[in-house]
Amino acid sequence: MDFSIKAFDTKNTIQGAKTGCIAVGVFENKKLSAQAKALDQGGEITAALKAGDISGKPGSTLLLRGVSKAGAERVLLVGLGADEAVGEKAFLSGVNAVMKAFGQIGAADGIIALPMENLKERDVNWAIRACVIAGHEAVFRTDAQKSKKDPAPQGVKKVMLAVPNTAATKLALAQAEAIANGMDLTKELGNLSANVCTPTYLADTAKRLGKEFGFEVEVLERKQMEALKMGSLLSVTNGSEQPPKFIVIKHKGGKPKDAPVVLVGKGITFDTGGISIKPGANMDEMKYDMCGAGSVLGTFRAIGEMGLKLNVIGIVAACENMPSGRATKPGDIVTSMNGLTIEILNTDAEGRLILCDALTYAERFNPAAVVDIATLTGACIVALGHHNSGLFTREDDQHEALANELLAAGKQANDTAWRLPVQDIYNEQLKSNFADLANIGTPGGASVTAACFLENFTRKYTWAHLDIAGTAWKSGGSKGATGRPVPLLATFLMNRAR
Ligand code: BES
Ligand code: MN
Ligand code: ZN
């Protein structure tokens, strides 16, 4: 789907627009949006509303042909809720319905002429982004590993957004495309099977992005990780035949002296649980356990395409968690890169074991902030379901500020997070008789103890942790990666850029 801006004015009117299909909004109170009114000189739209052919409820649609005073071949009426004060949810339902309808009609091009400039609490740039992301979602296919490809998306290929053609809207469109492309990459990586999407594959993807967008990419091999004394990370890869990769990717968009934001991604390309092996049901889904890494790479794709003016460093710790004769055993004690010893009571709590060394590695960059992103705990799905990512930070002023920045970015991007605690008291649960720390807590609050475990390795900088176990993918019939939290992360970084 190809997006562009189509500005209307007194010469170039909405009535005159020649296109396969133009989408306009109507309301439950039977009123027409300004754009719908402009096309209704012949009364067909009012008649359809009066007859009850469309309810106006958010996401309801009605396709009309032969609207006499419209240059467009088809007019798609889209319900946007109760009245002219269109909220974000109603708008998003409307846009998704437009994309669905656009995919089912025989038109090559279409115009979205919804009231994007008059939304409640949202501006036109937000609306542009919502359209582009919904469009990408509608045509996204996962058929890389199918011998017969899914049918190509039908319908509208060229979508024009009826908004003023200004420097700001052009920029918003370019940024929206960059974010949507980043999300697509994250989805592709998450959906690929684990025998293809290995740590090596993630490293190669980072290198390919480096070539395409000018990132500096360094991949540390096992030997280098050993030299760095990443004993915790390396304990997770013991059972695997796949070589682990520690990927460092740098986007130098800021001033050379500006402290970077560091994103750290959990890249477990398959999580069997190790010797503390997981039950068989749905274990296939543990190929998604690299979605933290995938979202770091997707976010880099987005900021690279945007040419974001900010220094950003991505760190991806990638390996497999497998059982074998060489695998780490429950009770094994390892020494992490920062010197703390860890008793591995459960080899399935492996995410924190790779992240802690990656977080220690991040110290060398004197970061402005570090955000780790991980499918860390099933308990986070229990707590928040699939709607919100779990956000964890300490409670002092500078961490409150970072938490608020991330929460706000999530709201702005329709990719929300919800805050959960990081408090000293939970460290009690991580005490070990034999080592400095245990890698699991006592029952209860498993997402929080996981975050508190990580906290022990992040005391030298401002840090936040995002648990995306629930948001990174959907289970069930339409299972697949969602591309989250790329919108949140990209927006957070955009808000920090020059
Ligand atoms: N990758 C899992 C977390 C997970 C579970 C993500 C389900 C998505 C869906 C993680 O490595 C894990 O196994 N966590 C354990 C922690 C426990 C052993 C303390 C869990 O959540 O059960
Ligand atoms: Mn696990
Ligand atoms: Zn895991």
Encode pLDDT of 329-348 as tens digits: 999 999 999 999 999 999 99
Non-local (6+) Cβ contacts of 397 within 8 A are none
Which pLDDT does position 162 carry in this prediction?
Answer: 98
Which pLDDT does position 153 carry in this prediction?
Answer: 86
Indicate which residue's Cα is closest to atom 14 of ligand 1. Answer: 377
Distance of CA 347 from the midpoint of ligand 2 (Å): 7
Q: What percent of the chain has pLDDT over 90?
A: 98
**Is the confidence at residue 441, as pLDDT, over 90?**
yes
**How is residue 248 written in tokens?**
């460092």
Distance of CA 354 from the midpoint of ligand 1 (Å): 14
Of 109-118, 185-194, 247-256, 472-481, which range is least confident?
A: 472-481
Q: Is 258 annotated as a binding residue?
A: no
The span from the CA of 472 to the CA of 377, in Å, is: 12
Q: Is 266 annotated as a binding residue?
A: yes
Indicate which residue's Cα is closest to atom 18 of ligand 1. Answer: 349
CB 365 within 8 A of CB 358: no
Q: How confident is the model at residue 55 (pLDDT cuts 50, 70, 90)?
A: very high
Question: CB-side exposure of 476: number of CA atoms within 13 Å?
Answer: 4
CB 61 within 8 A of CB 78: yes
Prior bond to 199 cis, omega within 30?
A: no
Question: What CATH code would you report for 177-497?
Answer: 3.40.630.10
Q: Which of 31, 157, 278, 479 is catalytic?
A: 278
What is the distance between the terminal CA atoms of the chain, rounded to a whole angstrom? 30
Average pLDDT, the chain: 97
Prediction pTM value: 0.98
Q: How confident is the model at residue 498 (pLDDT cuts 50, 70, 90)?
A: confident
Indicate which residue's Cα is closest to atom 5 of ligand 1. Answer: 378
Distance of CA 145 from the midpoint of ligand 1 (Å): 27
Which pLDDT does position 152 carry in this prediction?
Answer: 85
**Is the confidence at residue 325, as pLDDT, over 90?**
yes
Closest-lying ligand to the alpha carbon of 378? 1
Residue 267 to residues 5, 121, 144, 189, 215: CA-CA distances in angstroms?
38, 37, 21, 11, 19
Query: Which residue among 346, 377, 447 is best mutated to probe the pocket of ligand 1, counting the most ligand atoms within 8 A of its Cβ?
Result: 377
Which pLDDT does position 429 carry in this prediction?
Answer: 97
Q: How confident is the model at residue 273 (pLDDT cuts 50, 70, 90)?
A: very high
Catalytic (active site) residue 148: no
Per-residue pLDDT reduced to its tens digit, 115-168? 999 999 999 999 999 999 999 999 999 999 999 999 888 999 999 999 999 999
Residue with tokens 């390795």: 457
Question: What CATH code would you report for 2-163?
Answer: 3.40.220.10
Question: What is the sign, positive or negative, of the torsion defined by CA atoms of 143, 149, 151, 153?
Answer: positive
Which pLDDT does position 249 carry in this prediction?
Answer: 99
Closest CA to 45 of 15, 17, 20: 15
- How many Cβ atoms are within 10 Å of 444's Cβ, its own excluded? 10
Q: Which residues surround ligand 3, an ion (CB under 5 A)?
A: 268, 271, 289, 351
DSSP 147-187: SSPPPPPPS--EEEE-S---HHHHHHHHHHHHHHHHHHHHH
**Strands 158-161 and 261-271, sheet pairing:** unpaired
Q: How confident is the model at residue 283 (pLDDT cuts 50, 70, 90)?
A: very high
State whether the beta carbon of 430 lies less than 6 angstroms from ligand 1: no
Q: Which helix (H) or strand (E) holds 473?
A: strand 473-474
**Is the confidence at residue 12, as pLDDT, over 90?**
yes
Closest ligand 1 atom to 470 CA? 8
Residue spans per domain, the chain: 2-163, 177-497
State whether the beta carbon of 375 lies less than 6 angstroms from ligand 1: yes
